[in-house]
Amino acid sequence: MPVLLTTKLSMRLSLVVTLTLFTGACSSLTPTVSATQSAIKAPSVALVLGGGGAKGFAHVGVIQALQENGITPTLIVGTSMGSLIGSLYASGMTADDLEQLAVTTPDSDLIDFTLSNQGFIQGIKLKNFINAKVAGQSIEDFPITFAAVAAEKDSLRKAVFTTGNAGLAVQASCSVPNIFIAPRIPETVGKKYIDGGVISIVPVDSAIELGADMVIAVDVTAPASSNNANKLSKLSSLTSLTSFWGLLENNVASTANAGAANSSRSKAGELQRADVVITPDVGHISSLDSSQRRALIEAGRTATTSQIKVIKQLIAEKSNSKYTTL
């Protein structure tokens, strides 16, 4: 009898030990994610903001419409005025922040006249303005990846700035030849750079080169009708020497001509490589006061809202495409 009791007790102990080991082994297991599952990501969506001087206030409306519909780009690439608006947005500003800044910023915050045979605006105020508004962040620290497009002054080679001093990069991208003194990057010792519109007014190719799966391009350079153009030219001529935005707006054409005779063909070629092209109806609008700036912003919002369905569909298609190719 004692032997039988001992045998049963041993069997029970053995069973308990076995169950304990099995339970411990099971609890130590963790679910695994396949390499394919972990690699699936949403497509990289680039918002490309072109140059166009004062017409670039329409970019703010574009951003508003995208934000209202839950669309946040992963990359922003800008030329000239597009780099100015793009840098502020990429740094963390909301669309409402941008609108408030757009309609309240006086030209005196941005213009620093000087006497020089290289130009009559230094551009230092612009650089400092951007750096103050982005809270001193370097480009690589922005919440959204950002690139400013400029051109080397001597060679006219394209330069795409994705790191470093944000204000300096925007200053270079906005430096209309013969108007702004071309800044050096690095400062004091580097090459001189001028407005990116000389070689890429709507820098779609730069976004593609930076790895964008989908490109939403904004072109604000549509010309005004002949009647409106005459009215605007007379009004702009009175303000071109005192309006920062007027200087950029009135010199869009001359900037393009400084680069190459086929600049219009080059722009058309880049736009063809975009997935979506937003063209705000701004040819008839100037931006010489805050009410006109609001009209430009609204034009950008309207043009974008009409394409939201297409944009969302393309994002979904790009997502499915990335999934099926893995």
Catalytic residues: 80, 195
276-278 and 184-185 beta bridge pairing:
unpaired
Tell me whether residue 74 is exposed, middle or buried, using C-beta atoms within 10 angstroms of its C-beta: 0 to 12, 13 to 18, 19 or more.
middle
Q: Which of 314, 201, 209, 323 is nearest to 260 (CA)?
A: 201
Residue 221 backbone phi and psi in degrees, to 5: -100, 15
User: In angstroms, what CA-CA distances link 9 with 3, 16, 305?
Assistant: 10, 11, 78
Residue 152 backbone phi and psi in degrees, to 5: -65, 130
Give CA–CA dist 253/249, Å, rounded. 9
- DSSP E strand boundaries for 92-233: 145-152, 158-161, 184-185, 191-195, 214-218
Give CA–CA dist 168/124, Å, rounded. 8
Q: Which residues contact 173 (CB under 8 A, 6 or more apart)?
A: 78, 79, 80, 83, 84, 148, 149, 150, 161, 193, 195, 196
